Amino acid sequence: MAAKKDKKLKITLVKSTIGAIPKHRNTVKSMGFHKLGSSVVLPDNDATKGQIAQIRHLVKVEEVDA
C-alpha cells in the first residue's frame, strides 16, 4: 500500500512585526517564528491556512513535499 504524501508549507517571515497589532504578533509567535527571515515548515491544513490568511502581509509561503 502506497503511503500518502503529506503536503507541507514552508513559511518565511519577510516583514517585521514592530508595527503589527498584538493579535498578529501573537500569531507569528505561535507559528514558531523567532526573528525576521526565519522559516518554519507546517502542515497544509485549514488551521495553518487560517493563520497565514491573518498575517499574509508579513509572510511568504511556498509549497514543499515532505
DSSP letters spanning 32-49: T--STT-EEEEE-SHHHH
Residue 66 pLDDT class (50, 70, 90 cuts): low
- Which of the listed CATH numbers 3.30.1390.20, 3.20.20.70, 3.40.50.970, 3.40.50.2300 matches domain 7-65? 3.30.1390.20
Name, in order, each residue with C-beta under 8 angstroms of 43's C-beta and a sequence gap of 6 or more.
6, 7, 8, 9
Q: Is 23 helix (H, G, I), strand (E, B) or coil?
A: helix
pTM across the whole model: 0.87
pLDDT of residue 65: 84
Cα 31 to chain centroid distance, Å, stands at 6
Name, in order, each residue with C-beta under 8 angstroms of 8's C-beta and a sequence gap of 6 or more.
41, 42, 43, 44, 63, 64, 65, 66
